Amino acid sequence: MDPGVWLVSASAAVALFTAFVARPRVTPAVSILILGLAGAGLGWGGMLIQPDPSTFELVAAVAMLAFLVPAHVRIVLGPFGPAR
């Protein structure tokens, strides 16, 4: 199987675990860091699947997903960190 598919699958699994299980139990900084890294992994893996991505596409995908995955989790699931 293609390494990009493995990277996307692993990054998605880490993001799902962090969003639903770890996010309410760890500090906000740790949640955001893990979700940002998972988002970057999703972008990198997605670009590995593409036949010939440009450097701009690669950098843009990794940077945008590193920002958008934590933002999406915050918007959809609520605040980071333990409940007050």
pLDDT digits (tens, 9 = 90+) for 29-72: 999 999 999 999 999 999 999 999 999 999 999 999 999 999 99
What is the Cα–Cα distance from 3 to 26, expressed in whole angstroms? 30
Mean pLDDT over 2-24 rounds to 94
Q: d(Cα 48, Cα 28) in Å, to the nearest integer? A: 30
Nearest alpha carbon to residue 5 among 66, 57, 46: 46
Q: Which two tokens stand for residue 67?
A: 């920002």
Per the CB < 8 A criterion, the answer to whether 38 and 15 are in contact is yes
Closest CA to 43 of 21, 19, 67: 67
Number of Cβ atoms within 10 Å of the Cβ of 24: 15
CA 75 to chain centre: 14
Per-domain residue ranges of the chain = 3-77
